[in-house]
Amino acid sequence: MMPERILGLDIGGGSVKAVLLSRGFRGGYRVLGFRRIDTAAAGDLKEALEKLFADDAFRGTVCVTALHAGMLSFRNIRLPFRDDRKIRQTLAFAIEPVIQTPIEEVFIDYTHAGGAGKTEIFAALAPRTLVGERTELLKPYVRETAVIDVSAVSLTLRLTRNRGGPETVLMLDVGARDTTAVFACEGRILHIRHFPFGGEVATQAIAAAMNSDSAGAESVKRSGEIPPAAVAASGEVCRRFCIELINTRTSLLWQGTIAQAPALVFLTGGGSRTPGLETILTESFSAPVERVDLLAGGDIQIEETLRQSWDPAVMDQALALAARPMVKGSGFNFRQLASEARAGYGEFRDRLKKIAIAAVVILSLAVVELGLDDYGSRLRLASLKRDIAAEFKKSDPNATRIIDPVAQLRGKIAEARKLSAGMGDTTTEATVLDLLKEISGFSPANLLLTSFSLDGDAIGLKGEARNFDAVDAFKNAFVNSKYFKTVTIGSTGMMKQGGGVEFDLKVTLKK
């Protein structure tokens, strides 16, 4: 039998890269051919693919491709279990509250981000329409689209699994217009982030510094003979990009997504040759920067004639896709695994909906019953309060506020008992009635007492008289009293109406 032919297809923003690989039954790999087609030069993506598959060598193969990270969304999720069946049944429920897109419109796949015994997973979400469009786009040319992964993931996993060690690494795939950053450790994808930085950004900065067009700036950039002003402009955009990377690293460390800062930075992609980028990355991360070259590992064979035209920065992503293991756990696969996850989620969701409806009905009835009980209790309480207030008013009609009716009535009763027994705290044996009788006897017929207060041995009297002489006469009448010791006139003044006098007397009792 012929060795299986695998086509790794890297569809980027500016070009299509294809690597045809033979995979032997004993696991050996051999590059049969490769090609890069500029999308803009071909017209569009569809025409670029037509141009690629015009070569029959690439037709009828098993295709492994990837979706650009900028088209997807990612989430770090923690679940209380590691069983894949349970994860696939519940993952959509865990993700649905934190995304804006309806869950029915996306495929969800995941990888285990935590180590042994840990429950962290890293989930990727791809629009169903995007996966369908990619499948239909390749259907006329390939025997099967076996895997649809995420860009840069296959290359990252291959490098970190071969390398080993517990260190966190950062893979940077710098393209023409954007960059995919992958944080990984021990063959596990921890996080993926997309940045709007690429080789064309540096080219535009160089063009502005040189007052040149983009084509001229690109030519100068590739020649390596760049004026100092252009070098500074390119370095500035690279530094801004590195600041965003450092901020992302700091955020992931704070969240606990990565355990330590990356100890190594892998650099690939056509835009990775931007002048000064490698040096600035080394300074920013205080870590070595290693340019990726999969063929240097020696486990993938290639003829020398092909090797001479091989550009690892541009072609390694497609090569990693072609060499990607087909077994589960080798990355993401929206072509197969997400469909299974969607079917499992739909079945589980239908069952859960029925349970949820029953639970809502039961809870609603319980809430209604509790509400009726509470409403009845409130009505009984309001009725009791009205009855208490009515009884209180009968005992104390002058009360304006009823706060604690029992305590207030007890106070009134104690006060009444005190007055009925005599003077209470006073040293005289006269009762209040005796004092009132005495005062009444001294009062002229035209004098009106409006207030009487008793505080120990002191009595306060307020009233109204015809004139000041009447007040003096009333005061002097107390001289012959057998209960009162002294009488002093306090404030006096003319009444606002009626022409009389208002007065205030302070009286002390004899002991």
Instruction: For 16-64, write each residue's pLDDT tens digit.
Output: 999 999 987 666 889 999 999 999 999 999 999 999 999 999 999 999 9
Domain with CATH 3.30.420.40 in the chain: 164-290
Higher model confidence: residue 429 or residue 10? 10
Q: 104-108, 307-311, 497-501: which has the minimum mean pLDDT?
A: 497-501
The residues near 298 (Cβ < 8 Å, ≥ 6 apart) are none
Domain with CATH 3.30.1360.100 in the chain: 422-509
pLDDT, tens only, 88-116: 888 888 898 888 889 889 999 999 887 66
pTM: 0.65
Domain with CATH 3.30.420.380 in the chain: 1-150+293-335
For Cα atoms 481, 482, 484, give the angle at the middle one, nearest 5 degrees. 65
- Strand pairing category for 264-268 and 168-174: parallel
Q: How much is the pLDDT for 418? A: 63
Amino acid in position 263? A
For Cα atoms 254, 255, 260, give the angle at the middle one, nearest 5 degrees. 60
On the CB side of 95, how many CA atoms lie within 13 Å of its CA? 29
Range list of H helices, 333-448: 337-395, 405-421, 432-442
Amino acid in position 451? S
Query: Would you list the DSSP string of 45-110?
Result: HHHHHHHHTTSGGGTTPEEEEEE-GGG-EEEEEE-S---HHHHHHHHHHHHGGG-SS-GGGEEEEE
Amino acid in position 439? I
Q: How much is the pLDDT for 420? A: 54
Tell me what the pLDDT averaged over the chain comes to.
Answer: 84
Higher model confidence: residue 493 or residue 96? 96
Q: How much is the pLDDT for 345? A: 45
CATH of 164-290, picked from 3.30.420.40, 1.10.3210.10, 3.40.50.2000, 3.40.50.300, is 3.30.420.40
Assigned superfamily of 422-509 = General secretion pathway protein M, EpsM (3.30.1360.100)
Q: How much is the pLDDT for 472? A: 83
Amino acid in position 15? S
Query: Would you list the DSSP string of 132-176?
Result: HHHHHHHTTT-SEEEEEEETTHHHHHHHHHHH-SS-EEEEEEE-S
* Fold of the domain built from segment(s) 1-150+293-335: Nucleotidyltransferase; domain 5 (3.30.420)
For Cα atoms 326, 328, 333, give the angle at the middle one, nearest 5 degrees. 75
